Structure 1
Amino acid sequence: MVQLNQNFINSIAKDMPSHLTMDDFIAYCDKPLRASIRVNTLKIGVDEFLTLMQEKGWQFEPIPWCGSGFWIQVEPDVQLGNTIEHIQGLFYIQEASSMLPPQALFPQGIEDATSLTLLDMASAPGSKTTQLAMMMQNQGVLVANEYSSSRVKVLHANVLRMGVKNCALTHFDARVFGEYLYNSFDAILLDAPCSGEGTVRKDPDALKHWDSDEIESIAATQIDLLESALAALKTGGSLVYSTCTLNRLENQEVCLALKSRYGDAVEFESLDNLFVGADKACTPEGFLHVWPQIYDSEGFFVAKIRKVADIARLKPEPKPQKNFPFTAVSKKQQQALSDYFSTFDIKLEQHGTLMQRDDEFWLFPDNILPLIGKIRFQRIGIKLANAIKKGFKVKHEAIIALAKSDRTIPLDELQATQYLMGRDIQLESPTKAQGEQVVSYHGASLGLVKHLGSKLKNNLPRELVKDKICPSNSNNIII
């Protein structure tokens, strides 16, 4: 049963709109949260995914604000996070309300992202980052920042699993962006650290020790972060500020504080037409204040802010950073890499900028180069290959992100399960050995094998081997 602190109830009652009731709020907080997912269109089409999974008994209800998002029902013994389709990145388990901020940033979608430079200021675990990358169709550059060291690892794992190649990871207190990357981004998402009042449906104890003093401290940090975001945003660009909390102090008041400081340089863009029914959660300022009972979801807040005039730097421009460890790949090496990757039907020239560090070859997003030297990156793009004595050795993350042709070895469900559990796959009809090959399931690449004629030798990185794979329906068995 949900644990609602009485002080929280007394406080939130003052912020609740008149057309909503506290009884409904408490009742919905006590209801289990509906399971929801987002189909990853970097790897599979929405209709194709629905057809595949409906055949396995999955039931889908569209989420109104996200064309690739669905509330789902599956058999009780289906563990979504351990299914093949989840492990290979065909979908992301994401709460429905969490899909709102990226949609608010680009309500009409993105027709061409090749020239876009975006920032996700607080990215982990990666739901909104990978949603943005999907909307960008892996074009342009998406800087994904995370302050927590342990959460950076989770973010990186999810970015790779979903086949994202246009991402650059940073690890900073996001208050630095206004200083180091002033006026650099076309659009920014700030899903700010918050008190998490809206998450009570998945964490019944989230509000058990609610304290108003902590709210004031959090709000002060949020204002600093939002001010940094505004400084890092190009004039004419938009930023979305969001939280998974409900109180007005962390939501409307943070945005109004920014407006108070910067006046006519800041405009609020109304979200009342973001989707059919958005007006039910819209505030007088045009923000979305999503209470759990409105859409039977988590509580959430979303505001869209446009920067319409230049603002002064918060601090003097920092000195350029030196000792960047990467250099451009020579024409000779570029041709050799292109020839090697063509054996996997991958055309490197279509994907980004080739860079080299010692014996490592990397693929950078094209328009990351203007940001180099302004701030330190944890990781940029994807690692393509290592140089070896006779050529190159491709990396798993490159295959996951880039290999999308029919020139793969399709596996059935049993074989795909064996592969993800690190096992070799025996072939029924031995043939001539074919060397390095890509294996796939549902048309999306799983990784590399070495075709030895009688079997496929597993080349899945050891750290990605799974101890358990859950069937996608109750008719199959776990091996």
Structure 2
Amino acid sequence: MLEIPAQFKEKFAQLLGEDEAARLFKALDEPSKKAFRVNSLKKGAAVSYDLSRPVPGIPNAYYGEISGKDVEWTSGTVYSQDPAAMFPAHLTDVAPGDRVLDLCAAPGGKSTALGEKLQGQGLLVANEISPSRAKILRENLERWGVTNALVTNGSSEDLSSKFPAFFDEILVDAPCSGEGMFRKSEDAIKYWSEDNVLTCQARQQEILQEAVKMLKPGGQLVYSTCTFSPEEDEAIVSWLIDNYGFTVEERDLEGVPTAAGRPEWGNGNPELARCFRFWPQDGLGEGQFVAVLRLPAASNAASGEKPAKRKQDKRKKRGGRREDQISREDLEYVTEALQGLSLPAGLENWSSRLQKSKDHVFVPLLAPDSLRGLKILSNGMELGMLKKKRFEPSHQLAEALGQIKQDRVVDLDEGQYERYLHGESLQTASQLKGFVLVASKGQVFSFGKLTTSGQLKNFYPKGLRQ
């Protein structure tokens, strides 16, 4: 039985009334609900999991538990996510071609959903301030096959200086007191206090001040938390309305067990009733709060800031060619390695857009010069790495190529799949030669290289081996 803080119980008994508060406290002692999403970018991929219990309101989402050892996971065909946490990204208006920012993005559940909506078109900037969590974010976006993501590791202030009035949509799933995670995290209970709630509120305002600077006039901001406290939910939305003129947009979630926001818990504005609260006692998942907001079209929230001037590129040149430009010889190595592979949307005309950094060859989304001062984990699609007189395609590319039907594939049985994940090379009967995609159950999860004797050399990243 959870040892819920007495002050928390007193607070929510006053806010909800004794009966509804009792339902909440009872629900917090029940097991949390597991769910997963099926990746619509990986068209035609069949999964072995039970798809008979859909999550209401979310396409391609189902109740159930998945394993990180299954090919569905390693191929980026499924993603484990709390059902309520699926709604912030779902409620955005993101469409192909948009410029989108997920400001507090790790571990990547919301970013992968936004990447699906973009369908390889436009720009997704996925940022995380924690270096370790940013690494996980990058891995999850790569696994999902998102080709148009810029993954950054910085603060909201770092980004706002680079992207004033730039984004069509911004999602801020803000750091919070985590009350909605009580039944999943002992630390959420351990560190809960009213002082921490107010500390989180101040931090949320600091983050949002910078987020608003990056939103285009008329743009959309989706604000969410996994907490119940009005100080971090309705009060924050009230602050956005009062200080920046935001309006709260209506959304229809018919058939989804959710509750309306409470105007009396904020500034009394009736628009607060358009916010959504997901309570554990309503049976959907964990706790979540979501508000969909619209910035006025005539907003001056960016305070007239101009993009930072780009410094002149003074990098050394070799024979009249910048060091980040790829040579004709190197281009031939890349072309040879990719021969016979079908490329997904967003990689058309890749050869004319190639750049390299420390022998990593990539197709950038934004000019690297314009991003100086930011810590960049990934800028678009890394095709692979140049080595002495050869080129090795990247794991990121393998996961992206799994979106469409490929001919150069070696499909492993269950035993071979497990051995390959361990890092073993395998003997095959394939007649293919050179770099091939490696799959199991028809789901691509890696590159390998076939020798003339049929040996499949293992290129599964060492850091992911099991």
Place the TM-score, normalised by the shorter chain, in its bin: 0.7 to 0.9
Q: Is the 8 A contact 1:28 1:296 kept in 2?
A: no
Q: Which amino acid aligns with 2:338?
A: F
Percent identity reads: 30
Change in Cα spacing, 1:184 to 1:374, as seen in structure 2 (3 Å) is farther
Aligned match of 2:185 in 198, 203, 209? 203
Larger mean CA deviation between 82-91 and 213-222 belongs to 82-91
Change in Cα spacing, 1:314 to 1:10, as seen in structure 2 (3 Å) is farther
Aligned to 2:290: 302
Distance 1:175 1:295 in 2: 38
Change in Cα spacing, 1:400 to 1:209, as seen in structure 2 (3 Å) is closer
| 1:70 correspondence with 2:62 | yes
Aligned to 1:97: 84
Distance 2:257 2:284 in 1: 13
Aligned to 1:356: 356
Q: Is the 8 A contact 1:121 1:174 kept in 2?
A: yes
| 1:140 correspondence with 2:122 | yes
Distance 2:74 2:39 in 1: 12
Aligned to 2:319: none
Deviations 1:400-439 (A, max 9, x none): 2125333112222222222112122233x5x656222212
Distance 2:301 2:431 in 1: 67
1:393-472 alignment, distance < 5 Å: 393-403=392-402, 404-407=404-407, 408-427=409-428, 429=429, 434-452=433-451, 453-466=453-466
Partner SS state of residue 60, structure 2 = strand
1:334-345 alignment, distance < 5 Å: 337-338=334-335, 340-345=337-342
Change in Cα spacing, 1:84 to 1:370, as seen in structure 2 (3 Å) is closer
| 1:290 correspondence with 2:278 | yes
Aligned match of 1:53 in 32, 48, 51? 48
Distance 1:336 1:118 in 2: 34
Aligned to 1:274: 253
Q: 1:371 Cα deviation (Å)? A: 9.0
Corresponding pairs, count: 441
Aligned to 1:25: 24
Q: Which amino acid aligns with 1:411?
A: L
Q: Which amino acid aligns with 1:25?
A: L
Deviations 1:240-270 (A, max 9, x none): 000000010000101101111123xx21112
Aligned match of 1:123 in 105, 111, 124? 105
Q: 1:155 Cα deviation (Å)? A: 1.2
Distance 1:232 1:11 in 2: 36
Q: Is the 8 A contact 2:84 2:284 kept in 1?
A: no
Aligned match of 2:244 in 262, 278, 285? 262
Change in Cα spacing, 1:119 to 1:192, as seen in structure 2 (3 Å) is same
Distance 1:420 1:363 in 2: 28
Normalised TM-score (structure 1): 0.84
Change in Cα spacing, 1:2 to 1:249, as seen in structure 2 (3 Å) is same
Aligned to 2:267: none
Q: Which amino acid aligns with 2:359?
A: D
Change in Cα spacing, 1:175 to 1:294, as seen in structure 2 (3 Å) is farther
Q: Which amino acid aligns with 1:424?
A: S
Deviations 1:87-113 (A, max 9, x none): 22111111111100001113xx63xx1
Distance 1:86 1:3 in 2: 34
Q: 1:20 Cα deviation (Å)? A: 6.7
Distance 1:335 1:208 in 2: 58
Distance 2:224 2:21 in 1: 23
Distance 2:361 2:228 in 1: 46
Change in Cα spacing, 1:20 to 1:351, as seen in structure 2 (3 Å) is farther
Distance 1:216 1:259 in 2: 19
Unaligned runs of 5+ in 2: 263-269, 316-322
Partner SS state of residue 282, structure 2 = helix
Larger mean CA deviation between 273-282 and 163-172 belongs to 273-282
Larger mean CA deviation between 399-408 and 97-106 belongs to 399-408
Distance 1:402 1:120 in 2: 24
Distance 2:457 2:331 in 1: 29
Q: Is the 8 A contact 2:100 2:123 kept in 1?
A: yes
Q: Which amino acid aligns with 1:346?
A: L
Q: Which amino acid aligns with 1:157?
A: E
Q: Is the 8 A contact 1:278 1:288 kept in 2?
A: no
Distance 1:187 1:72 in 2: 31
Q: 1:332 Cα deviation (Å)? A: 8.0
Partner SS state of residue 105, structure 1 = coil
| 1:87 correspondence with 2:74 | yes
Change in Cα spacing, 1:23 to 1:351, as seen in structure 2 (3 Å) is farther
Distance 1:86 1:359 in 2: 29
Q: 1:456 Cα deviation (Å)? A: 1.9
Deviations 1:457-479 (A, max 9, x none): 2222222211xxxxxxxxxxxxx
Q: Is the 8 A contact 2:278 2:284 kept in 1?
A: no
Distance 1:89 1:103 in 2: 19
Change in Cα spacing, 1:377 to 1:184, as seen in structure 2 (3 Å) is farther
Q: 1:15 Cα deviation (Å)? A: 3.2
Distance 2:442 2:14 in 1: 52
Partner SS state of residue 189, structure 2 = coil
